[in-house]
């Protein structure tokens, strides 16, 4: 089940992004996953939920968008940066 390897790598990539931006809370993690990426969608969602359990990811939801080809991409992080709404 290499979905866990992928989920862990997503976690590392997200941490690198957040390290630059000093974000306290992640709300959602967006992924594009191709039909031909060799990934089982439900398994990846399960593994992502297991990875997103520690701060700043606690409670973050994985949002997996199905696409064509072998795309496997971290597309966006939805974050709450603690600032009040403008």
Partner 1 sequence: MAVRSIEVRERIMATYDALAANVRSRLGDHGVPAFNLVSSPGSGKTSLLERTLERLGPELRVAIITGDVRTQNDADRLARVTDDLVQAVVTGGACHLDARQVLTALDAIDLPRTDLVFIENVGNLVCPASWDLGETAKVVIFSVTEGEDKPLKYPKMFRVAKYAVLNKIDLLPHVPFDLELAVRYACQTNPELRFFRTSALTGAGVDEWCTFLRHQVYTPVVQ
Strand, helix or coil for residue 59: coil
Task: Compute the distance between CA of residue 32 and CA of residue 66 in angstroms, rounded to an integer.
Answer: 6
1 binds partner 1, rule: CB under 8 A: yes
Residues 6-45 that bind partner 1 (CB under 8 A): 6, 9-10, 12-14, 17, 21, 23, 27, 31, 36-39
| Burial group, residue 60, by CB count within 10 angstroms (0-12, 13-18, 19+) | buried
Residues 46-85 that bind partner 1 (CB under 8 A): 70, 72-85
Q: How many chain residues bind partner 1 (CB under 8 A)?
A: 34
Place of tokens 């031909």: 36
Interface residues toward partner 1, by CB under 8 A: 1-2, 5-6, 9-10, 12-14, 17, 21, 23, 27, 31, 36-39, 70, 72-86
């Amino acid at each position: 089940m290499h979905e866990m390897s992928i989920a862990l790598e997503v976690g590392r990539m997200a941490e690198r992004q957040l390290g630059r931006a000093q974000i306290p809370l992640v709300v959602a993690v967006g992924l594009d996953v191709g039909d031909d990426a060799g990934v089982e969608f439900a398994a990846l969602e399960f593994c992502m939920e297991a990875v997103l359990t520690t701060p700043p990811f606690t409670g973050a939801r994985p949002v997996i968008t199905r696409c064509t080809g072998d795309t496997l991409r971290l597309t966006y992080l939805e974050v709450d940066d603690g600032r009040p709404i403008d």
